[in-house]
Every structure is written in C-alpha cells, then in structure tokens.
Amino acid sequence: MKTIDARGLSCPGPVITTKDIIEKEHPPVLNVTVDNKAASENVRSFFESRNYGVSIRQEGTEFHVTGKQKGESPCEEPVCSPVKTDLKKIMVMITSNRMGHGDDELGEKLMVSFLKTLKEMGPELWRLVFVNSGVKLTIEGAEVLPVLKETEKSGIRILVCGTCLTHFNLLDKKMTGETTNMLDIVTAMQLADKVINI
C-alpha cells in the first residue's frame, strides 16, 4: 500500500499531492495522512471522484484516508463535467455572508434576498460556491439554510470551502453542500461558462 504524509500541507496541498500520485503511479490502494478534518473530507471527495472506495480512520488529531481503486476513473477532473447541453453553466461564488459594504444588517438582508431569488436563473444555475465568511450561510441556524437545502435537492451542486469552515471553527456545523478545496473550486471555474462573484 502506497502511503502519503500530507500533514502540515495547506489546502489544496493534500489533494494535489494525492492527485499527482494517482496520475503518475496509479496505486490500487493509497493511504493519505492529514492533520485536520477538512483535509480528510477533501481527500475523500477526490478519491471518490476517481472511483476509489474510501475509508477514514482517526487517531488523535490525525486522519488516515485510505482509497481502494474500484475500476476505471469516471472522470479526469475533481469536479466532473456534466453531460453537454445547450444550457450555459453559471457558477455563483459567495464570498461573504452579507452583500455589499456600508450597513452590515442591510447587507445580511440583501444576501438572504439574493439567495432566495437565485432560482430565477433557472436551469443555467450550475454551482454555488461558498468561501470566506460566505460559509456561515451553510451552517445550522442560518436563515437561508432551508433555501440552500432546497437548491441542492434540485440538483445544483453546492461547494463549501473546508479551509474557511475550519478557520471559523464551523466544520461540524455545516448542514448543506460538500466540503471542498481550492482545486475543486478552480476546476469548477474552468468548467463554468460564466462565474458571478458576490
């Protein structure tokens, strides 16, 4: 079994290291050791995107993520491209839990209104990505949580920055979306026809 020590690597280091080993050596079994939960979830997600079965074992503050190859990889990128259609793929990146600058209370109300109105984009809305304080909109108690859960049920993929969740000590409070890393976010930006930053 091939082993990678990815402790101490900042996001997306553990995922990129895992990606490099898989692409160069194609190991049938690969164990990656990381030192935080967000990194373990990011590596797990990457393994799954490459058709590896995954198990995670925690020892103290370390996580041992083991991937076992199931067969040929279904996609070549951490974020698989959907079936081609005539629809444009719009990615919306939410970088704050409020919209605009000036009055924070007003900004929070505007953000709630914005997220509730996003469904009006129709089927072209493809990804929602939450980074920095935007991740606070995905946790328990957030006013827009029911809206985001409904959005996710409709098939729109929601990506939530694991480094950001960890920074705000909110990783265990996330209630919607996939914990992700910067490699997945950059890949989604490449696949999108249009990126809207809020």
Q: Break the chain into its structural domains and give their ranges.
A: 2-69, 90-197
Assign domain 90-197 to its CATH superfamily: DsrEFH-like (3.40.1260.10)
Query: Could you tell me which residues come within 8 angstroms of residue 93 by beta carbon, excluding any fewer than 6 positions away?
Result: 129, 131, 134, 185, 195, 196, 197, 198
User: Are the beta carbons of 175 and 139 closer than 8 angstroms?
Assistant: yes
User: Are the beta carbons of 38 and 165 closer than 8 angstroms?
Assistant: yes
Q: pTM of the prediction?
A: 0.71
**Is 70 exceeded by the pLDDT of residue 185?**
yes
User: Are the beta carbons of 105 and 66 closer than 8 angstroms?
Assistant: no
**What pLDDT, on the 0 to 100 scale, is given for residue 83?**
45
* Architecture of the domain made up of 2-69: 2-Layer Sandwich (3.30)
Query: pLDDT tier at 52 (50, 70, 90 boundaries)?
Result: very high
